[in-house]
Structure 1
Amino acid sequence: MMSVLVFVAIAFSDHRVTLCLFPGHAKELDEIMRSFPLMVGVICSGLFLVFPNSRYGVGCMGTAPTAPTLPPIDQLVPIFIDAIEAGYRHFDTAATYGSEEALGRAVAEAIQCGLIASREDVFITSKLWCTETHHDLVLPALKRSLARLGMDYLDLYHIHFPARMKNGNDQEIKVVNEDVIPFDIRGTWEAMEECYKLGLAKSIGVCNFSCTKLSQLLTHATIPPAVNQVEMHVAWRQEKMLAFCKEKGIHVSAWSPLGANGIPFWGNHAVMQNSVLKDIAFHRQKSIPQVALRWVYEQGVSVLVKSFNKDRMRENLQILDWELSNEENAKIQEIPQCRGFKGEVFVHPDGPYKSPDEFWDGEL
C-alpha cells in the first residue's frame, strides 16, 4: 500500500498569496478547517497550498518531490481523488515531476463524481523547467502542461530555477552542465507575463532566485513575482532574502526546512544533527523536526515538509501551541550557516556560471 503525505499549511503573510505546508493528519485538522475560511489543497511533488488571507490550510501529496521515479498514473489518480474527497483543493506540480497527467485525471474524475463542482474549486500550480526558459518556449511549455492536466489555465506558474539550458525534454529532470547557457531573465519573464495576460496563468512566481536576480527581474517586470520559493532552515536562515522580499512584497516559501535528511543533493545535514536543536528538543520534550519547523514557522514564511510516516506527519503538526523562547532563538542564531543546495549542476567552466558563488550572486 502506497504511503500518502498529508500537509497543513501555515503562514503569517498578508501578501497576495500565502503558501506553506506542514505534515499532518487530515482527521486532526478538522478543527482548524472549521475555524478558518480557506482554500485547502494538495500538491503532487513539492506540493504546497495557496490560499488568501488565512493562516491555515491542508494539503496532501502522493510522492516525494525528490523521488527518482513516480508510481504509475493509475496508482497516483486515486491518491489525488482521496485528497480531494478529504477537502484538499490546491495541487502543486511541475513539468519535470511527471504527475501532471495523473492530477488532471483525478480532478476530472472528482468533478464527474461530484466531489467538486468545477475546475474553479481547485488551485493548480506548475513550474517551467530550465530547458524551456527561452522567450519563445515559455508559452508552448505552459500549454503542454495544461494539455497534460486537461485544463484551460493554471492558478500559479513558477520559473523552476534561474537558469537556461539548451532545449530538451521538459518532463525529464536532466541537468547537463555543458548545456547551461546564459539566462534571459527579461525575455523569460516577459513570456511569463504574457501567460498571465492570456489568462493561462492567474499568477506567476519564481523559485531559487537570489536577491540580485530578483532585483534584476523587478527592474523589468510589469507584473512582479508573487512568490520566491527557496531553501530555508535553521542552518540557512535566509535573513537577507526575507528582508528583501518583505520590502518588495514578495512572499517567501521555504523548502528543505529540515535540511537534506538523506538527500544531500537538495540540502545539508546541519539541521537534524544539530546539537542546539537536540538540546532544545530534549528540554521541551519535543522532536528535533518540531523545533526546526517551529523556528521556520515563527519567521512568517511558508513551509514545505515531506514525510511518508503517518506518526511523523502528526508529530510535525504539533508546533502550533508553543513558542520558542528568546534564549532558544538566541542559541539558534549562533548555528553556523551553510547553503545546502549549491547549484553545482548549473556550473561549468565554459558556461554562464563558473562557480556556485556566481550562480547565487555571492549569496552563499
Structure 2
Amino acid sequence: MSEPKVTLNNNKTIPLLGFGTWKAEPNVVEEAVKTAVKTGYRHIDCAEVYANQAEVGAAFKYIFDNKVVAREELFITSKLYNTCHEKDKVLLHCKKTLKDLNLEYLDLYLIHWPIAFEYTGDSMEDPVGEDGQIKFIPVPIRETWEEMEKLVGLGLVKSIGVSNFNVQALQDLLSYAKIKPVANQVELHPYLPQANLKSYCDKKGIHLTAYSPLGSGAFVNDPIVGEIASTYKKSIPNILCRWAIQKGFSVIPKSSTPARIQDNFNILDFTITDSDMTKLDALSSTKKLRTCDPTYFWGISIFD
C-alpha cells in the first residue's frame, strides 16, 4: 500500500508517516535511517540540535549513492535552533545543516521553538549564565522569519514552517509573513490532542505534524488503547500513529531498533473505526500529558 500524503498550502506534498531522529544516538542513527528508508519511510525528520545530523547525512549519502531511493523521493525536514535566531545566523546554520546532511536542499525547514537564546556556535548548547539561568535574547520572530523566507528564494529550502508555536504565536507570524508557514510541528497524541490549535491551523491551512506520538511510553498501560490494539491485532504504537494519521496529522515516531522501526511502519493496512476513534479522542478528558514542556527545562511557559 502506498504511503499517504497531504498537500501543503504551497501545493507541495508531505508524507503522513515519517521517521524521527530525536534522541537517536550518533553511533546508531545512521543504520536506523537506512533501515527506515529501506522499510518504506519517505519522510525523515531531523534537527541540528539533535547532534546527529552528520550521521544522518552519511545514511543519506549511502542511500543515494546506492540508489536505494532518489533524493526527490524523500521529504527531509530540519530545524533552526533557539541559539540561531539572529538574522546573520539563519543562513549560516541552514548551510551547515545542508552540509551535515549531504543535501543540496531541504524539503522543509522549521523554526524549532518561538524563543531566542544567546548564540553558542556549532555546539548547539543552551547558554547558561552564572546564575544557572538560560540566557534569552530579544530577537523578534519577524526577524528570524524574514531570513527563513530568503532561504526559499535562494533555493536552499522548498518550504518553511514552525515548531512548538501556539495559536497566539501563529497569529503574530501570519500578520507579517510574506510566505505562509506550511506546517507546525507540535506534540500530539490522545492525551494531548490540541483541539484548539488544530482548529486554528485547519482554518489557516497550516499542516500539523505530531511529535512524541507515543507519549514517551505513557500509553503502555492504558487499558482502552490496549483493548483497541488487541481488536486490530496491532501494537499500541500502531494504534497511536494510525490515530494521528486519521486526524490528518503527519506523524514521526522514532526508534533505533530495526524491528520497532519496521513495526511502526505497519499502519497503512487498516483503519480505525469511528467508534474506536471516539474512544481514543475521549482519553484526554481523563488524562492530560505534555512530555516536552519548556517550563521544566528552560523555566518558561510558551503554551496554553
**TM-score grouping bracket, smaller chain normalisation:** 0.7 to 0.9
Over residues 152-195 of structure 1, what are the superposed CA-to-partner deviations in whole Å (9 max), with x where a residue is unaligned? 43232111111110011344353644212345111110110111
Using the alignment, how far apart are the partners of 2:263 and 2:175 within structure 1? 43
Q: Is the 8 A contact 1:96 1:170 kept in 2?
A: no
Q: How does 1:1-364 map to 2 (within 5 A)?
A: 10-11=4-5, 15=9, 16=11, 17-21=13-17, 46=20, 64-67=21-24, 69-71=25-27, 76=30, 91-108=44-61, 122-174=74-126, 176=128, 177-261=133-217, 269=218, 271-335=219-283, 336=286, 337-345=288-296, 347-348=298-299, 353=300, 356=301, 359-360=302-303, 363=304
**What RMSD in Å do the two structures reach over aligned CA positions?**
3.2
Using the alignment, how far apart are the partners of 1:98 and 1:190 within structure 2? 26
Using the alignment, how far apart are the partners of 2:181 and 2:102 within structure 1? 25
Using the alignment, how far apart are the partners of 2:280 and 2:105 within structure 1? 42
Letter of the aligned partner of 1:304 in structure 2? I
1:321, CA displacement in angstroms? 4.1
**3-state DSSP of counterpart to 1:164:** coil
Q: Is the 8 A contact 1:230 1:253 kept in 2?
A: yes
Letter of the aligned partner of 1:101 in structure 2? A
Q: Is the 8 A contact 1:9 1:303 kept in 2?
A: no
**3-state DSSP of counterpart to 1:230:** strand
1:310, CA displacement in angstroms? 4.3
Q: Under a length normalisation based on structure 1, what TM-score does the superposition of the two structures give?
A: 0.69
1:123, CA displacement in angstroms? 4.3
Q: Which residue of structure 2 lines up, in the alignment, with residue 39 of structure 1?
A: none
Q: Under a length normalisation based on structure 2, what TM-score does the superposition of the two structures give?
A: 0.81
Q: Is the 8 A contact 2:26 2:55 kept in 1?
A: no
User: Aligned in 2, Cα 1:87/1:239: closer, same or farther, shift over 3 Å?
Assistant: closer
User: Aligned in 2, Cα 1:322/1:230: closer, same or farther, shift over 3 Å?
Assistant: same
Q: Which runs of 5+ in 2 are unaligned?
A: none
User: Aligned in 2, Cα 1:107/1:100: closer, same or farther, shift over 3 Å?
Assistant: same
Over residues 202-240 of structure 1, what are the superposed CA-to-partner deviations in whole Å (9 max), with x where a residue is unaligned? 211111111111111111100011111110001011111
**3-state DSSP of counterpart to 2:179:** coil
**3-state DSSP of counterpart to 2:225:** helix
User: Aligned in 2, Cα 1:188/1:66: closer, same or farther, shift over 3 Å?
Assistant: same
Letter of the aligned partner of 1:196 in structure 2? V
Using the alignment, how far apart are the partners of 1:91 and 1:169 within structure 2? 25
Using the alignment, how far apart are the partners of 1:225 and 1:240 within structure 2? 18
Q: Is the 8 A contact 2:15 2:42 kept in 1?
A: no
Q: Which residue of structure 2 lines up, in the alignment, with residue 57 of structure 1?
A: none
Letter of the aligned partner of 2:17 in structure 1? L
Using the alignment, how far apart are the partners of 1:290 and 1:99 within structure 2? 26
Q: Is the 8 A contact 1:95 1:128 kept in 2?
A: yes
Q: Which runs of 5+ in 1 are unaligned?
A: 1-7, 23-42, 47-63, 262-268
Q: Is the 8 A contact 2:39 2:265 kept in 1?
A: no
Letter of the aligned partner of 2:84 in structure 1? E
Q: Is the 8 A contact 2:242 2:267 kept in 1?
A: yes
User: Aligned in 2, Cα 1:182/1:9: closer, same or farther, shift over 3 Å?
Assistant: farther
Q: Which residue of structure 2 lines up, in the alignment, with residue 50 of structure 1?
A: none
Using the alignment, how far apart are the partners of 2:46 and 2:89 within structure 1? 19
